Structure 1
Amino acid sequence: MKKIKNILKVSTFVIIGIFSFQFVIGDISFELVKNLDIFTSVMQGLNKNYVDEIQPGSLTKTAIDEMLKSLDPYTEFIPESDMEDYKLMATGQYGGVGALIQNLDSFVVVSEPYEGFPAYNAGLRAGDIILEINGVSVKGKSTQEVSDMLKGTPDTDVEITFKNIFDENIKKVKLTRKEIKLPEVPYYGIVAPHIGYISLSSFTMNCSNTVKDALLKLKENDPNLQGLILDLRNNGGGLLNEAVNIINIFVPKNTEVVSTKGRLPEANRVYKTMQAPVDLEIPLCVLINENSASASEIVAGALQDLDRAVIIGEQSYGKGLVQNIIDLPYNSKLKVTIAKYYIPSGRCIQKIDYSDKTNGVGRQISADEQKIFFTKNKRPVKDAGGILPDIDVKIDSISAFTAALYVGQHIFKFATLYSIKHPTISQPDQFKLSDADYNEFIAYMKDKEIKYSSPLKMELDKLTKLAEDEKKLDLIKDDIELLKKKITLDNQDELLHYKDEITNILTPEIISRYYYQKGRIQYELQNDNFTHKAIEILSNPSQYNNILSVK
C-alpha cells in the first residue's frame, strides 16, 4: 500500500480530522518487496500472454480494492476520476450543477435542485427526468454514472436534455458548472419558546464556524434563549478538527476532548480546545441515531463524558477509527486507517474489531467485553458500542403498505404532480394536507400498481402451507378463509386505513417542492419525537440537571 523507496516519505491529510505529518520508514521488509515483485510479474505475464487484451488500470484497481477490503471498510483507494467525490467529502464543495438526483424507473430524475445554483437557475425542478447529457442518452445509467457526467471543473459547460415526468415537452439547456457548496447547517431556528435548534449534516471544512454563527444568530433573535438542540442524526462524520472546534463552542479553552492512538508514534495525538467558548452555560441536548458516526460520535461522546450535554436518541454507529489521506502517484490518493480515537473518559467507541476477522468480516465486540468508564460527574458509560444516549427515543415505524408507496416512488410522483397543479402553498410550519388533497391522492393511486404483500397475509400463507404439509388443512380451511377475508383490504381501503401515517410522509415531500430541504426539516420537526423529548428536558431545568448529576 506504500510506494517503495529506500526511504519512504508520506505526507498525510486527516479525514476525521486534519493534521499533517511526515514519517520515514527504512528497511523495507523482504516480504513486501517479494510480493510487489510477484504482483508486477503477474501483470506483465497477463499483459503479454492473456488471450484478450487486458485493461491494466481496471485490473490494478480491482486488485487494490480487494486488498483493502480485507482490512476495514474505511481504508480505500481514491483514483483521480473520483477526486470530485473526495473533494465533496472533505470540503462539502464540488464542481457541478447543484442538484440531488435519484433513480426513477429506467431513468435518473432530479429529486431536489439547490436554490441559486445552475440547475435551479436553468429551471430544473424535482420530477424532471434527465434524458441526455451533452447529447449522450443516460437511460439505464445509475445515479453515480449520471452524477459523474454532471460534475466537472467549474466554469465548464454541460448540456442537459430533460422533461418532467408529467409533461412530454422536452427541453434542452446549457449550464455552466459552478463551485457547489452544500450547506452544513441546512436549518436552524427557534422550535419552542426560548429553545433553539441547529441541524448539522456533515463535518466539512469550516462547519464549526457555521454552527457558531447559527448559535449567535439564535441568541440575537432570542436574548432569553434557555436551551439548545444540536441535531447530529444521520451525520456520518468528517473532519476531526471541526468536531473539536464544535465541542469548543460549549466547553472551556484548553479542555482535552479527544486523543488518537495508532501503530506509528506520529499518529498519537491529544486534541484540546484552542479558543474561548461561545457559551459555557446554555443547557444543551444532542440528538443522535444509528447513522450518527465518527466525528458526530466524538462531539456527542465528548459532551457526554464532560457532562456538558444530555444525549438523546438511539445508539450511534460505533466508528472509532481515524483515517488519513496519503498522496499517491498520478493524482490518486489512499485513505488509510491510522489510529483509534478516545474521548475524555478514556473509552473508544469502535463497535467492530477488524483485527479479528471471521469469513472476511469484522467481529462485533460483545456486551461482556465492554468496559465501564466514568464521566466527569462519575456517571457510568461503556466503550466499544457507539454512544449510548442518556435518554432513549425510538423512531416511529411505518406499515409495510406505506413503505411500499414510498419505495415505489408514488409519494415522489404525486408530490411532483401536486406542485404542478398548485403554484404556491403556505409556509412549512402552517401547511396542512386537506381531506380534499388526500382524496386527490387516493384518486391518483386508483390505477397504480403497489408492490405490496401484507405481513399478516404472508404469515397466513405460511400457516396454510404448514397445515397442508401436516395434512391438517381440511380441519382449518374455513377458518383460514375467514381470516383472509378479514385481513385483506384492497388498495383504496389500505389508503384510508393508513391515512395518518401516509399524510405524515406525503406532506414534507410536497413541502420540499416549494421550500426544499430547509422547509422539509422545518415541517418534520413539528412531529419529531426526538426534538419533542429534547424540548421537554430543556424546559425542565431540574430534570436536565438530574440527568447530568453525580450518580
Structure 2
Amino acid sequence: MLRCQITADYPTNKNTKMKYKITGIVLLVISLLFYSFSERVSNYFELTKNLEIFTTVYKEVNANYITDLDHSSLMKAGIDAMLGTLDPYTVFVSENQVERSRYMAEGRYDGVGMEIKNVNENIVVEFVYSGFGAHEAGIMAGDIIEKMEGRSLKGFDEEDVMIFMRGASGTKLNMDVYRPHDNTSFNVDVERQDVSVPNVPYSGMVADGIAYVALSTFTPMSGRNLAAAMDKLKNEHGDFKGIILDLRNNGGGLLTEAINVSNLFIPQGKLVVSTKGNLEQWNRSFNTNNQPYDLETPLVVLINENSASASEIVSGVMQDYDRGVLIGQRTYGKGLVQNMRPLNYNTQMRITTSEYFIPSGRGIQNVKYEDGQPVAIPDSLRGVFQTQNGRTVLDGGGVAPDLEIPKPELPEVVQALLDQNLIFNYATDFRHRYDSIPEPGEFTFDKFGDFVSYVGKKDFHFTLEGETLLEDFIASAESGLYSNDVQREISKIKDVLNRVKGNALSKHETMIVRLLEDEIVSRYYFQEGKTRQNLLRTDEMQRAIELLNNRSEYDQILSGK
C-alpha cells in the first residue's frame, strides 16, 4: 500500500511530468518577456535621458554663447559627428544634397551636363557630357567658371557649385567663363536639361567573336541596357565565343540592378544575395526572376580595387556559380546595404540596415567598424567557403580574382604630373591648337618633346623616395657629427638623385604618352572616346582575350580541379 502510494505520488507520472514541463515553459516565457521588457525599458530610458541632455546642452549654448549661432551648421556638425561613430555609409543628406543623392542612385539629374573640380580655389571644368547644355553652349574641359548668376565662385568647393548648377529642366544658368589658353572671357546662358549618364558607356568587339561591355554604375535599367548592348553587337557581328564584362571602377548602386545583371548569366530561380540585419524586415533573400540572356558563352569579369558593393555581388555570384572567370585585383570589400529614409524638411538619411551574403554563404565586407573606425579582419578569422564546383573562396576582404593582375604602380614623376594637372592642362592646350585627331584607338601622340618643353616652363616639382630616405638620414643626427668623407658621399648621392630626376620624364615616356593620349582623346571624343582609346592596352584586357581564346584553360580554372 505504501509503495503504491509512493509510486502514485512520485513525479514520474506522465500527467505530472507534463505539468512540470508546462510550468517550466511558462516560467521561461515569463522570464524572457520580463527580460525583454526590462531591456526595452532600459533602452528607452537611455534614449530619453541622452536626448534630454543633448537638448539641454543645445539650449545652454544658444542662450549663453558669445556670438549668435548658425543653427544649420551647428546641428549638421552634431549629426555628422554622431553618425561618424557608426560607419562611413550611414549619413545625413541635407536638402542641398538631395539632388546629388538622386544622381548617385539614378544616374540622372537636372543640370548643365558637366563635371567640375577645384584647382587652386578655381572651379575648373573637368569634362562635359556630349549633347547637353554645357557642350552646346561651347564650354570645354579646362575652362574656369568664374561666376554663376553674377556670384563669384572663388574659393567655393565642388559640392557648393554643383548646387548652383542643379535646377529645373528648361531653366537657364548664367555663367562667366575664363579660357586660360587664349586668355579670353565670355558670358553664356546654359540651359539645364534632364541629364542621363549612361550606365553602359561603351560596348564593342575587341577580338574575333569576343564582345566587350562596360558597366559603370548600377543605376535603373542597367540589366536591360546591358542586354540591349549585347543584342546590338550580336546582330552586327554574329554569335559570341566570349564575353568580357568590365566592372572596374564601378562603385555599385542599386541592389535590384545587381540582381538583374546577375540574372543575365545564371538560371531563373537562383539565389543571388541574402541580407541580414538587426530587424526581421531586413532579413531577405533575392533570387533571379527572369529567363537568362546567356548561360553558355564563356564569360570574363574584370574587377579592381574600386569595384564595390553591387559590383561585388555580380562578380561574387559569377564566381560562386562558376559562371565566369574573374580577372584583375581584389575588390573594395563593401558588403553593407543602405536604405534611404525620408526625414522632414526635405532631408533624408542613408542608413546601413544589413549586411549581404552571396550564394556560397560568404560575406564581402572588408572591415568591421568600432566607434566609426575601420578594424581590419585578419585572414585567420576569414571563413572558408566553396563554389558550386568546389573551389575554395574566403569571406570578407572583398572578392578575390581567379587570375590576379598586379596593379601597375605609378612612378613618383608620373603621379606628380597628374597631381599638378600638367597632363590635364597640356591636353586642354593641345585641343585648342589642333582642330581634329584620328579616331580613338588610332590616335598616337608623337609630340613628347613638346610636352617636356611645356613641363619645363611650369613650376613642376616632385620628390623621389630616395630623396626622402636621404633627408631622413641627414636629419637623424646633427650634420656636424658627420665626417667630411660622409658629407662628400651625401653630396654625391644628391647629385645622382638630381640626374635621376632630370631623366625621369624620358625614362617613363611610354607611360606618360599613354596618359596623354587618353586625356587628349577625351577632349575630342568625350568619355566614350577615352574608354575606347585605352581599352586594349591594359594587362587585364589582354589576359581576358587570351583566356577566351583558350577554352581548355578557361574550363580548367572553373572546374575546381
TM-score (norm 1): 0.91
The corresponding residue for 1:381 is 393
Once the two structures are aligned, what percentage of the paired residues are identical? 40
Counterpart mapping for 1:213-228 below 5 A: 213-228=228-243
Mapped to 1, the partners of 2:405 and 2:76 lie a distance apart of 43
Mapped to 2, the partners of 1:265 and 1:446 lie a distance apart of 63
The corresponding residue for 1:399 is 411
Q: CA deviation at 1:30?
A: 2.4
The corresponding residue for 2:112 is 97
Task: Look up the SS of the partner of 1:426 in the other structure.
Answer: coil
Mapped to 1, the partners of 2:346 and 2:366 lie a distance apart of 33
Can you list the C-alpha shifts for 1:117-144, whole angstroms capped at 9, x where unaligned? 0000000011111011000111222222
> Pick from 110, 134, 149: which aligns with 1:119?
134
Q: CA deviation at 1:40?
A: 2.6
Query: Do residues 431 (structure 1) and 446 (structure 2) align?
Result: no
Can you list the C-alpha shifts for 1:215-247, whole angstroms capped at 9, x where unaligned? 111222221311111111111111101000000
Can you list the C-alpha shifts for 1:238-286, whole angstroms capped at 9, x where unaligned? 1101000000000111111110111111111110000111111111111
Q: Using a 3 Å threshold, how does the CA distance of structure 1 residues 106 and 47 change in structure 2: closer, same or farther?
A: closer
Residues 442 and 492, structure 1, Cα contact 8 Å, conserved in 2: no
Looking at both structures, which has the greater relative contact order when contacts are Cα pairs under 8 Å and sequence separation is at least 6?
1
Task: Look up the SS of the partner of 2:440 in the other structure.
Answer: coil
Query: Do residues 361 (structure 1) and 368 (structure 2) align?
Result: no
Worse overlay, 503-512 or 458-467: 458-467
Counterpart mapping for 1:140-179 below 5 A: 140-179=155-194
Query: Do residues 279 (structure 1) and 294 (structure 2) align?
Result: yes
Worse overlay, 46-55 or 185-194: 46-55
Query: Do residues 512 (structure 1) and 522 (structure 2) align?
Result: yes
Mapped to 1, the partners of 2:541 and 2:275 lie a distance apart of 32
The corresponding residue for 1:336 is 351
Can you list the C-alpha shifts for 1:137-183, whole angstroms capped at 9, x where unaligned? 11222222222211122222210110212122211111221111111
The corresponding residue for 1:449 is 459
Q: How many residues align?
A: 521
Counterpart mapping for 1:176-215 below 5 A: 176-215=191-230
Q: CA deviation at 1:492?
A: 5.9
The corresponding residue for 1:6 is none
Q: CA deviation at 1:548?
A: 0.3
The corresponding residue for 2:549 is 539
The corresponding residue for 1:523 is 533
Q: CA RMSD in A?
A: 1.8
The corresponding residue for 1:56 is 71
Mapped to 1, the partners of 2:87 and 2:474 lie a distance apart of 45
Can you list the C-alpha shifts for 1:417-463, whole angstroms capped at 9, x where unaligned? 111111000011100111xx212212222221112122223333334
Worse overlay, 538-547 or 42-51: 42-51
Task: Look up the SS of the partner of 1:338 in the other structure.
Answer: strand
Counterpart mapping for 1:407-426 below 5 A: 407-426=419-438
Worse overlay, 57-66 or 311-320: 57-66
Task: Look up the SS of the partner of 1:482 in the other structure.
Answer: helix
Mapped to 1, the partners of 2:60 and 2:265 lie a distance apart of 60
Q: Which amino acid is the alignment partner of residue 481 of structure 2?
A: K
Mapped to 1, the partners of 2:97 and 2:54 lie a distance apart of 24
Mapped to 1, the partners of 2:325 and 2:97 lie a distance apart of 39
Q: Which amino acid is the alignment partner of residue 497 of structure 1?
A: K
Can you list the C-alpha shifts for 1:287-309, whole angstroms capped at 9, x where unaligned? 11111111110001111001001
Q: Which amino acid is the alignment partner of residue 254 of structure 1?
A: G
Worse overlay, 455-464 or 263-272: 455-464
The corresponding residue for 1:80 is 95
Task: Look up the SS of the partner of 2:118 in the other structure.
Answer: strand
Mapped to 2, the partners of 1:548 and 1:196 lie a distance apart of 20
Q: CA deviation at 1:466?
A: 4.9
Q: Using a 3 Å threshold, how does the CA distance of structure 1 residues 54 and 457 change in structure 2: closer, same or farther?
A: closer
> Pick from 145, 150, 154: which aligns with 1:130?
145
Residues 92 and 204, structure 1, Cα contact 8 Å, conserved in 2: yes
The corresponding residue for 2:24 is none
Task: Look up the SS of the partner of 1:403 in the other structure.
Answer: helix
The corresponding residue for 1:550 is 560
Counterpart mapping for 1:257-296 below 5 A: 257-296=272-311
Any gaps of 5 or more consecutive residues in structure 1?
A: 1-25
Worse overlay, 54-63 or 477-486: 477-486
Q: CA deviation at 1:468?
A: 5.7
Can you list the C-alpha shifts for 1:181-206, whole angstroms capped at 9, x where unaligned? 11111111111221111111111111
Q: Which amino acid is the alignment partner of residue 42 of structure 1?
A: V
Task: Look up the SS of the partner of 2:184 in the other structure.
Answer: coil
Worse overlay, 373-382 or 397-406: 397-406
> Pick from 390, 405, 423: which aligns with 2:402?
390
The corresponding residue for 1:325 is 340
The corresponding residue for 2:49 is 34
Mapped to 1, the partners of 2:464 and 2:279 lie a distance apart of 55
Q: CA deviation at 1:464?
A: 4.2
Residues 305 and 374, structure 1, Cα contact 8 Å, conserved in 2: yes
Task: Look up the SS of the partner of 2:425 in the other structure.
Answer: helix
Mapped to 2, the partners of 1:189 and 1:410 lie a distance apart of 31
Q: Answer 1 or 2: which has greater helix percent.
A: 2
> Pick from 356, 360, 363: which aligns with 1:345?
360
